[in-house]
Amino acid sequence: MTERPPRLGRTRLVAVDGPSGAGKSTFAKTLAAQLNATLIPTDHFATWDDPVAWWPRLRAVLDKIAENEEATYRMTDWSEGFPKPGEDRTIRPTEILVVEGVSSARKSIADKLTAAIWVELEDADERLERAVARDGEKSREHLTRWQAFERGWFAVDGTKARADYVVTSS
Ligand SMILES: Nc1ncnc2c1ncn2[C@@H]1O[C@H](COP(=O)(O)OP(=O)(O)O)[C@@H](O)[C@H]1O
Ligand SMILES: Nc1ccn([C@H]2C[C@H](O)[C@@H](COP(=O)(O)OP(=O)(O)O)O2)c(=O)n1
């Protein structure tokens, strides 16, 4: 990863995308720790009712990092199982920034990415069960809707076709 050039100012931006329940968050946490990178999960922005349109708020953060400036955003708080506005988080300019979540490798950021990583698990039922095991039975309906949405999103965005690496969960 460090051999590939930075494309977000001096920062190497790495996106970990793929369908819900595939293992993105788990993979991205390990990757960020190994690279000593800052990690931004898109669920700090997303809510059930707003799966991808929050993007300008993250883009504003990335644009500041590209200018070598720090940036602050308000995190979505999922600690009670539903989304509500949480605390502010400040991101400082960093050598490697990992952004993880559905739509993190979207077409509009492709030219700024040092690497796009696609995490997948083919069996959609298994992905749903893993996500429900993580978030609780109360989230099942939301996660089912979310998975239907992301199928369409990925088809239109063509995310996987742009991936530099594909990671297959088992
Ligand atoms: N390689 C794996 N094998 C088995 N279970 C996994 C694996 N990676 C993640 N999980 C579990 O599956 C669930 C979903 O993983 P997560 O990383 O939250 O996926 P995503 O961020 O893609 O939705 C979590 O409960 C996690 O502990
Ligand atoms: N505890 C919870 C409950 C719901 N969510 C919501 C917000 C997420 O973007 C969606 C889908 O989660 P998932 O981790 O599968 O996908 P992302 O990696 O967040 O894109 O679920 C959550 O992330 N955490």
φ, ψ at 167 (rounded to 5°): -110, 125
- Closest C-alpha residue for ligand 1 atom 25: 134
Q: What is the pLDDT, as a whole number, of residue 70?
A: 98
Q: What is the pLDDT, as a whole number, of residue 1?
A: 84
The CATH class of the 12-168 domain is alpha beta
- Closest C-alpha residue for ligand 1 atom 3: 170
ipTM metric: 0.88
The domain limits of the chain are 12-168
Residues (pLDDT < 50) of the chain are none
Ligand 2 contacts (CB < 6 A) are 20-21, 24-25, 42-43, 46, 78, 101-102, 131, 135, 139, 146
Q: What is the pLDDT, as a whole number, of residue 170?
A: 83
Ligand 1 atom with the shortest distance to the CA of 21: 23
- Closest C-alpha residue for ligand 2 atom 14: 20
The per-residue DSSP string of 83-106 comes to -EEEEEEEE---SEEEEESTTTT-
The model's pTM is 0.95
